[in-house]
Amino acid sequence: MRRPLVAGNWKMHGTRASVAELIEGLTRQAFADDVDVVVFPTLLHLTQAVAALDGSVVAVGAQNCAAQAEQGALTGEVAAQQLVDAGVRYVLIGHSERRSLLAESDALLVRKFAVARDAGLVPVLCVGETLAEREAGQTFAVVKAQVAAVIDALGVDAFVGGVIAYEPVWAIGTGLTATPEQAQAVHAAIREQLAVCSAQVAQQARILYGGSVKAASAAELFGMPDIDGGLVGGASLNADEFGAICRAAGN
């Protein structure tokens, strides 16, 4: 039985004051015992979040890390080991905004995934197709290639304890959500892809759905057999809405 995970991606939102307010709202939520919860603030607000959430069930993740393992001369970047040192436990790898707007390639993301794992972070590999790719019937091929980049370079065991987030690009921040059936079909394909290499890894890997998840849509999505929780953007900026989404992931 996989333990559900709900992740809140705060993207480039927040001030010290609004982050404090959001965290205060989170600490008032009743979270289910059988669901893992993590929030991803901006880099600037990571230490504030780690300190304010100390002792709570909500873990903290980073939205990115350097592809270089060691600390050193790489201006503007933060190493995975520095994130661990700051109390961070998860890291997003390859969010579609970074793939498309910052031109992050599969090759670069594989290196980030590897250094994150080696440092002791839980990497959350984000994959998903654009609308044009879906309309061209390429959804499965695109997602498969993004997952294969990691398997081919690092082996399927790279996903032991790891997380994959299926986020159709056309559903991120648009208010459009994949239907539970559309999402389930892609999640099942990803799990099958893992199973070809290792039934054990496929069975335990958590695959999250992301793309305009709201409290109203969460239960139906999370009720699908291969959807193990969600990666939530906009709705995670509202503590009550995010709390309701987390509760929907509980059994």
Q: Are 231 and 126 in contact (CB under 8 A)?
A: yes
Does 144 show up as a binding residue in the annotation? Answer: no
- Give dist(CA 144, CA 8) in Å, integer: 24
172 binds ligand PEP, rule: CB under 6 A: yes
Among 26-34, 77-85, 105-113, 226-234, the segment contacting ligand PEP (CB under 6 A): 226-234
- Say whether 187 is catalytic: no
Q: 189: phi > 0 → left, psi -120 to 50 → alpha, else beta; which?
A: alpha
- Say whether 24 is catalytic: no
Does 212 show up as a binding residue in the annotation? Answer: yes
Q: Are 115 and 68 in contact (CB under 8 A)?
A: yes
Does 64 show up as a binding residue in the annotation? Answer: no
Q: Which of 97, 104, 129, 167 is catalytic?
A: 167
Binding mask 140-169 for ligand PEP (x = CB under 6 A): ---------------------------x--
Backbone angles phi, psi at 248, to 5 degrees: -65, -20
Q: Please select the residue that binds ligand PEP; options are 123, 162, 234, 243, rule is CB under 6 A.
A: 234
- Applying the rule CB under 6 A, the residues between 68 and 107 that interact with ligand PEP are none
Q: Please select the residue that binds ligand PEP; options are 213, 215, 218, 245, rule is CB under 6 A.
A: 213
CA proximity to 239, closest of 46, 4, 37, 50: 37
- Give dist(CA 40, CA 56) in Å, integer: 15
DSSP H or E segment with residue 218: helix 215-222
- Give dist(CA 125, CA 186) in Å, integer: 15
Q: Which of 45, 95, 104, 129 is catalytic?
A: 95
Binding residues for substrate, by number, are: 9-11, 173, 212, 233-234
Site of interaction with ligand PEP (CB under 6 A): 9, 11, 167, 172-173, 210-213, 231-235
Active-site amino acid positions: 95, 167
